[in-house]
A and B are shown apart, each in its own frame.
Chain A
Amino acid sequence: MVTFKIDGKEIKAKEGQTVLDAATENNIEIPTLCVNESVLPYGACRLCMVDVTKGKRKRTVTSCAYEVAEGIEVDTKSEKVIKIRRMVIELLLARCPESEEIRQMAEKLGVTTTRFKPDEDGDACILCALCTRACREVVGKSAISLINRGTEREAALPFYDEADDCIACGSCVYICPTGAIKMEDKAGTRTISWPNCSQEFKLKACSACGFYFAPEKQLEFMAAESGVELEKLEICMSCRP
């Protein structure tokens, strides 16, 4: 166990825990958009910045990727930190003016308007890479990734249209904090739309009742991964014995 201070309050945390986790466990709220416990920390959104004083040195770090240490002092509400957060959310507001989630987060941080020129492409991606991390770390595929550099950077399929690796499981859709990735199931086809590309996938109809219940490629991937025969997986949850 490690003892340290957050906002003047002494708390205990497990070794190897991040400052963000320890703070949340003690009901100290730190805003964040790019954290999910099923994937490794990445530090993309920069909203969880905190001041950390270690000995004589004071640094501003991302709390989601900073491990707790004996004797450190964390300040989650210093003037500098709040200024950084407001700046970040203002930039995000300009990047995705139509995103409800970003607007709510901005409201929480006391920001209602942005001084920057809003983007007009209508895409809500904030490049937090939760989708690509989930694809790689949770599903075990790497169907989508962040491509290009600088202002051109975006989450997309290779060459915008090669979905060979994608099993259409929908994890990226579910994990996306701003709803930038969309999915629709209609008449045996699943369409997943990433910000600049979209792809259609076939759904499998249950061999007993005919209900379209899962993407074909997902079932094939599961069969190959687990060694279970494909026919056994082709029955929907309601019809399974």
Chain B
Amino acid sequence: MINSSVYVPRILPELESFTPGHRACVGCGEVLALRLAFKAIGRDAIVANATGCMEIIASQLPYTNWKVPWIHTLFENTAAVASGIEAGLKAKMRKGHLPRRDTRVVAIAGDGGTADIGFQALSGALERGHNFLYICFDNEGYMNTGIQRSSATPYGATTTTSPAGKQSIGQFTWKKDMPGIAVAHNIPYVATACPSYPVDLIDKVKKGVETKGPAYIHIFSGCPTGWGCASDLTIKLGRLAVETGAFPIYEVENGRYTVNITPEKLKPVKDYMKPQRRFRHLTEDAVKEIEKRLREEYHKLLEKAECQS
């Protein structure tokens, strides 16, 4: 449902478990993604939230933006806490302390809390097969603490801990393929999404929470503060990331790949990089190198989707 603007959004659920009045930056793509995701998750959910932007902006004592039970966890144990909640609910329901019903357990974390610090707990929880949904909001760095690099930062981006200069191109490693790692755990549902395609995102989160067993959704969310772009460009950059092949949108159901958005011709990566300050230092050759590698990865993905269908 990619080409479904104007009328389809009118029949989306009105309920929002994440309320307005939070303290996110102007133009934050992450909080938009969070809002859309909780349209799909509904009100019967328990959330484990790692340290990060989404925790900071929504929980300044004595206020909260959450209408659902919410627990703040450390960076490293979000998935562990979520699996504990799930196991606890299961035990309580079995013993008859709670009525049997379909309470959704959701863990949310940023890319740092997922790909770096919370990685071990996540891998464990996925492997144990708990019935929960893990959402990673990927803004490609530790934006909350002042723009440090994470393993999800793309090659060539400058951050405060990977500064570009005479000796350095900025981030010197390639972005870690987190969805790929989740797929490798053989879990029933893995998807990538972007708030620039809201209906697609809501559909995927809905599929994720309804999956029996662990589900992992990687949401690419723009960060004007960390990326150094104008705050009205978040949505556009999300679209450009997909259209240039920098962040392909796909889902993997029981090992079967489907690429949801396949532009007939990929746009040049330069279009995506130009509005962002973090890529400003890159020379044309460097951009071409990056483009080449991105194209390769994209075609690899297309092949995976083709050989299975």
Contact = CB atoms under 8 A, between A and B. Distances in A.
For B3, B5, B13, B102, the residue with the greatest tally of chain A CB atoms inside 10 Å of its CB is B3
B11 A237 contact: no
Contacts of B11: 36, 38-39, 134, 138, 171, 174-175
A211 interface: yes
B4 interface: yes
Contacts of A27: 43-44, 101
Interface residues of B, number: 23
A238 interface: yes
Interface of B: 1-8, 10-11, 13-14, 43-44, 101-102, 199, 236, 239-240, 243, 263-264
A214 B102 contact: no
Interface of A: 24-25, 27, 29, 36-39, 134, 138-139, 169-171, 173-175, 185, 190, 203, 211-214, 218, 222, 237-238
Give the dominant DSSP class at B's interface: loop
A217 to B, nearest CB: 12
B101 A29 contact: yes
Given A27-B44, A29-B101, A237 B5 contact: yes
B101 A170 contact: no
Contacts of A138: 7, 10-11
B243 A238 contact: yes
A222 B8 contact: no
B265 to A, nearest CB: 9
19 contacts: A29-B44, A36-B11, A37-B14, A38-B11, A39-B11, A169-B4, A170-B1, A170-B8, A171-B11, A174-B4, A174-B8, A175-B11, A185-B2, A190-B3, A212-B3, A213-B3, A214-B3, A237-B239, A238-B239
Nearest to B42: A24
Contacts of A29: 44, 101-102
Contacts of A25: 43
A156 to B, nearest CB: 20
- Interface-centre pick from B6, B7, B239 (highest chain A CB count, 10 A): B7
A125 to B, nearest CB: 18
Contact of B7 (A139, A185, A238): A139
Given A29-B101, A37-B14, A175-B11, A169 B239 contact: no
B194 to A, nearest CB: 12
Contacts of B240: 238
A210 to B, nearest CB: 8
Contact of B13 (A37, A134, A173, A203): A37
